[in-house]
Structure 1
Amino acid sequence: METIAQLGIAPEDITKVLVAGDWHGNTRWMRQVLACAARDGYKAIIHVGDLKVLWPDEYPDFPEPGCFTADLATDLEELGLVLIFADGNHDAHPILRKLTLNNDGFGVISDRLLYAPRGHRWSIRGVRFGALGGAYSIDKAFLTPGWDWFEGEEVVPSDVETLGSATLDVLITHDVPAGIDVETTLRLPEAIERESYIVRSLLRDAVRITEPKLVFSGHWHQRRTGLMPGMETRAHVLDREFHDGNLVSLDLATLAVEEYKPV
């Protein structure tokens, strides 16, 4: 991965990465995680979406100190970390899609803060990653278009086509592929359940096509794990910020997954 090498991080020095669930633009949690990750020898973090960078109140002037994106970019630089993120549903999709792509195909916010567009692939230490962010907002009726809800949040068939059929080791999604049970305390209208399931079924299709060993997701704010039906793919659903299960450590040599607490 050229981007990491250009930043003075030798790929061979990356033996493990952190994988993170939703952070929702929370600066305090972000700083706690980054400080612990740097202390514990991590060089890279992969985020499954709802990171909430470049929000309308800080775009395009995000370099101003005090906003989440600026603080995140600054801390990554000071700590020598790289953060790669997929988009969630609560992300500013039109802004992310305008980002300039670097030579590795990532959207660049800073040298160390990189957006993985839907269908993008990359590798670290020979581990093949793919990103398929996006989800349906089941709370859309309570959100304001252009402020905390944005067009383009849902996974569509062309995103799956962009990802392609070549085998992956790790697939990063925001929503959870159909076939992995999730729980909600909300009583959802049938129409909303149907729209949500369309996205989840597309993600299931992507898993079946690319046959990754691991899938990491978020969105539902709970920690769950299970095998995709009829497959050897293990899915890990990560919890939200300030909760146990928001972070796991992925060993790049063995693809072993361990819980990680930033303490």
Structure 2
Amino acid sequence: MIRVLFAGDTHGQTAHVDHLLRVAVREGCPWVFVVGDFGYWEHQHDGRLFLDKVDRRARQHGVRCAFLDGNHDNVALLRRTYQDRDDDGLIVVRDHVQYAPRGHRWTWGSSRLLAAGGAASLDKDLRLAVEQRKTDRAARRALAHRNAGAPRDYAGTLWFPDEELTDDETDRIIAAGGRVDLLLTHDKPRDGAPSFNRKTAEAAYPNQDRIQRIVDALAPAQLIHGHLHHRYTQTLANGTVVDGLTCDPAAGHGEPGYRVEDSWLVVDL
């Protein structure tokens, strides 16, 4: 048996991840696993510092930290940068920080796990507009100062085109078949019906439908996800128990009934 602390969105908040690591030590968990929006922003200096700090704190606590990708993680850069895998097949990002790519399966304890990251950003247009404003501002500064180099282009720094699970990825996951005890996702399945749901726009549904297809095909005993910033438990018609986790306090501020302890779930596998 292995005990794992699963956590909702951490959004690059080092203090919150350190808190999760401390809870993991208290609960006897050798792993913390973040179900998306971990804070993989290695295209920025602060993002690289976040990874280095998490790696250092995880090593000090004697705990490893793994994550799958959410819509606010730069998954394209992650895929290009890292390929080495550990004994569980997780991609090594730092000595104590690992990534579970979409479709990856592994065994912890007596349980078979499957990762299926990705979700849709409902604030896509806002993020693209901010990127464009930053690019325009950089161009004006370069022109005013007659800089010889090309001004910085901020495209791809706030919104990531590969954010959603694709139909092809979904098809491959389903075609692989096999037993799945625990499905780990960022998004909820379409049939998930929490009492508080931030993701009800039409743009959210295609990715939720892909997760639902996986649930219908593989019938996992349990599914753990983030993304909604809301803690709930629901049993679907096929018997799959869905646990949605909330997020770090900075992002959870203002959410109805927010409690930081609802951002993690300890599971014996």
Fold shared per TM-score above 0.5: yes
Contact 1:21–1:217 (CA<8 Å) still a contact in 2? Answer: yes
The question of 1:126 aligning with 2:110 is answered yes
What's the C-alpha RMSD, in Å, of the aligned pairs? 1.9
Letter in 1 for 2:245: L
Alignment partners' CA distance in 1, 2:38 and 2:97: 11
Letter in 2 for 1:126: S
Pairing 1:183-194 to 2, within 5 Å after superposition: 183-184=196-197, 193-194=201-202
Contact 1:120–1:162 (CA<8 Å) still a contact in 2? Answer: no
Deviations 1:217-239 (A, max 9, x none): 110111111112x2110000100
The question of 1:219 aligning with 2:220 is answered no
- CA change 1:161–1:111 in 2 (3 A) is farther
Pairing 1:102-113 to 2, within 5 Å after superposition: 102=85, 104-113=88-97
Give the alignment's TM-score, normalised by structure 1: 0.81
User: Which residue of the partner structure matches residue 100 of structure 2?
Assistant: 116
User: Which residue of the partner structure matches residue 178 of structure 1?
Assistant: 190
User: How many residues in Structure 1 have an aligned counterpart in Structure 2?
Assistant: 228
Contact 1:118–1:162 (CA<8 Å) still a contact in 2? Answer: no
Give the alignment's TM-score, normalised by structure 2: 0.79
Alignment partners' CA distance in 2, 1:162 and 1:86: 17
Pairing 1:58-207 to 2, within 5 Å after superposition: 58=45, 62=48, 67-98=49-80, 99-102=82-85, 104-143=88-127, 144=131, 145-163=155-173, 164-182=176-194, 183-184=196-197, 193-207=201-215
Alignment partners' CA distance in 1, 2:23 and 2:261: 15
Deviations 1:136-173 (A, max 9, x none): 00111111342121110011112223323212000000
Alignment partners' CA distance in 2, 1:49 and 1:84: 10
* 3-state SS, counterpart of residue 138 of structure 1: coil
Q: Higher helix proportion, which one?
A: 2
Letter in 2 for 1:74: R
How many percent identity over aligned positions?
A: 30
Contact 1:172–1:215 (CA<8 Å) still a contact in 2? Answer: yes
User: Which residue of the partner structure matches residue 236 of structure 1?
Assistant: 243
Deviations 1:31-61 (A, max 9, x none): 11112212332101111000012432138x9
Contact 2:8–2:245 (CA<8 Å) still a contact in 1? Answer: yes
Deviation of the 1:195 alpha carbon: 2.5
Alignment partners' CA distance in 2, 1:94 and 1:185: 26
Alignment partners' CA distance in 1, 2:10 and 2:36: 8
Alignment partners' CA distance in 1, 2:180 and 2:94: 27
User: Which residue of the partner structure matches residue 259 of structure 1?
Assistant: none
* 3-state SS, counterpart of residue 19 of structure 1: strand
* 3-state SS, counterpart of residue 44 of structure 2: helix
User: Which residue of the partner structure matches residue 142 of structure 2?
Assistant: none
**Unaligned runs of at least 5 residues, structure 1:** 1-13, 253-263
Point out the more displaced range, 152-161 or 130-139: 152-161
Larger Rg: 1 or 2?
2
Deviation of the 1:194 alpha carbon: 2.5
Alignment partners' CA distance in 2, 1:125 and 1:185: 34
Deviation of the 1:185 alpha carbon: 5.9
* 3-state SS, counterpart of residue 10 of structure 2: coil
Alignment partners' CA distance in 1, 2:107 and 2:216: 20
Q: 2:43 aligns with which of 38, 56, 78?
A: 56
* 3-state SS, counterpart of residue 51 of structure 1: coil
Contact 2:90–2:98 (CA<8 Å) still a contact in 1? Answer: yes
